[in-house]
Amino acid sequence: TSPFAWLRTRFYYLLIRLYFDQEFSVEEFTRGAKQAFSVVSKLLSQRKLDLLEELVSAEVLQVLKEKISLLPDSHRDALAADIDAIMYTTEGDIRIYYDDDGRKFVSILMCFWYLNGASLPDEVPGEAKVFQIVLGDESTKEKKHLLTANYEFQREFTEGVKPDWTITRIEHPRLLE
């Protein structure tokens, strides 16, 4: 992350703490986002979309239902991210905005890099050989792919609204397109 982007995200986190939620913690949010990413990605992989209704917006869920049914098994298996296999997490973009009715929202895009052992073909578009990792010796060789995913979390901060984060965007580049 560039120093400018890092400063920008810290500034937005400060605004969230000052104007929306004095208890907001970057570390706690990131921990929860990783857990949510792991749970949602596994449910997507298992085609258990009905269990996502409380976690994912209705619009995103509708799109996912169409896309998941068309995925080959290898791509669907590659969606699953075990929380221990998440190698790196960072914020992408943070937005604070108000709608025409005066409701207040915060959106945080989280980017995840995770290892997955799904049997993906070597010709997965855009994936370089550099991102294939071989673990173990010759007899127990295990090939893993370093994959990325972007999940956007949104919360409404209007007074009287339930304080839950909802996933409003899910991207698994080259897998869920």
Q: What is the pLDDT of residues 6-17, one digit of tens each?
A: 899 999 999 999
**What average pLDDT does the segment 19-41 reach?**
95
Q: Give pLDDT tens digits for 94-144.
A: 999 999 998 999 999 999 999 988 877 655 444 444 355 556 565 556 778
- Kindly state whether residue 49 falls inside one of the protein's structural domains: yes
**What average pLDDT does the segment 143-165 reach?**
92
- Kindly state whether residue 37 falls inside one of the protein's structural domains: yes
- Kindly state whether residue 45 falls inside one of the protein's structural domains: yes
- Kindly state whether residue 158 falls inside one of the protein's structural domains: yes
pLDDT for res 163: 87
* 122: three-class secondary structure by DSSP: coil
- Kindly state whether residue 128 falls inside one of the protein's structural domains: no
- CA 3/CA 77 separation, integer angstroms: 36
Confidence band, pLDDT 50/70/90 cuts, at residue 34 = very high
Q: Give pLDDT tens digits for 77-90.
A: 999 999 999 999 99
- Strand extents, DSSP E, 28-162: 86-98, 104-116, 132-135, 142-156
- CA 23/CA 13 separation, integer angstroms: 11
pLDDT for res 44: 95
Domain that holds residue 20: 3-112+148-171
- Kindly state whether residue 124 falls inside one of the protein's structural domains: no
Dihedral sign computed on CA atoms, order 17, 20, 21, 22: positive
- Kindly state whether residue 119 falls inside one of the protein's structural domains: no
Indicate the number of domains in the chain: 1
- Kindly state whether residue 46 falls inside one of the protein's structural domains: yes
- CA 177/CA 174 separation, integer angstroms: 6
Q: Nearest to residue 144, comparing CAs of 116, 120, 121, 124?
A: 116
The residue type of 141 is K
